[in-house]
Amino acid sequence: MRTFTQRLQSRTLLLAATVLGLALSGSPANAAEGGLSNFPYGAQTSYAAFVPAPGTTSFFGYALYIDGKSLRDNDGDKIPGVSIEAVALAPRLVHTWNSTFHGWKMTSGAVIEGLYVKVEVPGLEDKDTGPTLLGFEPLYLSKTFGAFTFFHGSLIYLPIGSADKNQLANSNLNYKSLAYQGSMSWNPNARVDVSLNAAIEFKDDNEETEYQSGPQASLTFGAGYKPFASNLSWDLGISGFYTDGLADDKIDGEKVPGGGRTKKFGIGPKIVYLFSPGAAIVAQYHREMETENAAQGDLFWLECVFPL
């Protein structure tokens, strides 16, 4: 199942960074924004390289709930007294063209995201709700070679809504970014799916705070198996992600203290129910096991895809 908007996790990082700034300096304007990502690492866990059939369009619906129980510093140590709760919704349309490029399918798409977020620190609470971003997927290329299917292409993210550096909670990251991703799905038979997604995102500066987050890479994985030979609709498995900053963050051109790079690893179970080869519902849970420069907690996902 293709691109899932785990962008909510990025919003949580922004909130965590703001809270970290409050905890260390007492001023939201000094908050670090390390590890922010518009790209949804942790999302492409099921049939990641598959696209709609040529000449068809599919609707993708994404929902994510994050229960951020703690905030972690540059060493992964807990900063007490912080809780973050957030819900994101994102509809997406994806179309595969009838034309091909040297035998590769050509696919385009677009997504919009909205977010509700709540942040609590000792003596303070803030909430924000609103649109967060528009994502454009101008061209993906995909092709199957035996049991392997490959997929790759770029994504362009533009912020929408409003952002205020003096607020504790913000639903908008307030910067543009460009990502490139590649996926692989291995399906040796009708009962097995092993999918990997690798991506890198390059980020523009936040004009509100003059903060520039460094590029961020991620690896998302998923493995599923249909255990019932008499009913191939159910697919059970595990999924997870690893993400790491590739360069230090900067503010006004200067390196932020500690570098500000975010590192995360999460893993958990997933369940897929397939109505047909092109229609499915996915539910998954990720427990974040290790975190640096970000909020750490539990992620609950619900995804769907249906042909139009």
Q: What is the pLDDT of residues 38-91, one digit of tens each?
A: 888 888 899 999 999 999 999 999 999 988 887 777 777 777 778 788 888 889
What digits encode the pLDDT tens for the residues 122-166? 888 888 888 889 999 999 999 999 999 999 999 999 999 877 777
Q: CA-based diameter of the chain, in Å?
A: 61
Give the pLDDT band of residue 109 (cuts 50, 70, 90).
Answer: very high
Residue 222 makes CB contacts below 8 A (sequence gap 6+) with 44, 45, 46, 48, 193, 194, 195, 237, 238, 239, 240, 270
Residue 256 makes CB contacts below 8 A (sequence gap 6+) with 32, 34, 211, 248, 249, 250
Looking at per-residue confidence, does 91 or 254 come out higher?
91
Give the pLDDT band of residue 117 (cuts 50, 70, 90).
Answer: confident
DSSP 8-state symbol, 200: E
The CA distance from 256 to 247, in Å, is 11
Give the pLDDT band of residue 3 (cuts 50, 70, 90).
Answer: very low
DSSP 8-state symbol, 169: -
The CA distance from 9 to 62, in Å, is 13
Roughly how many angstroms between the first and final C-alpha of the chain, as a whole number? 16
Least confident of 5-9, 98-102, 179-183, 246-250: 5-9
**What sign has the CA pseudo-torsion 263, 134, 177, 14?**
negative
pLDDT of residue 33: 55
Tell me, rounded to whole angstroms, the distance of Cα 3 from its chain centroid: 8
Least confident of 2-6, 81-85, 172-176: 2-6
Give the pLDDT band of residue 264 (cuts 50, 70, 90).
Answer: very high
Q: Average of pLDDT values for 248-253?
A: 83
What top-level class would CATH report for the domain 7-307? Answer: mainly beta
Give the pLDDT band of residue 28 (cuts 50, 70, 90).
Answer: very low
Q: Average of pLDDT values for 88-105?
A: 95
Whether residue 24 is predicted with pLDDT greater than 60 in this model: the reply is no
pTM comes to 0.85
pLDDT of residue 9: 45
Q: State the SS3 of 217-273.
A: EEEEEEEEECCCCCCCCEEEEEEEEEEEECCCCEECCEECCCCCCCEEEEEEEEEEE
Least confident of 175-184, 233-242, 285-294: 285-294
Q: Are 287 and 273 in contact (CB under 8 A)?
A: no
For the chain, the structural domain boundaries read 7-307
Distances (CA, A) of 277 to 42, 100, 103, 142, 274: 22, 21, 22, 17, 7
Would you list the DSSP string of 73-128?
-TTS-EESS-EEEEEEEEEEEEEEEEEEETTEEEEEEEEEEEEEEEEEETTEEEEE
The CA distance from 33 to 15, in Å, is 9
Give the pLDDT band of residue 36 (cuts 50, 70, 90).
Answer: low
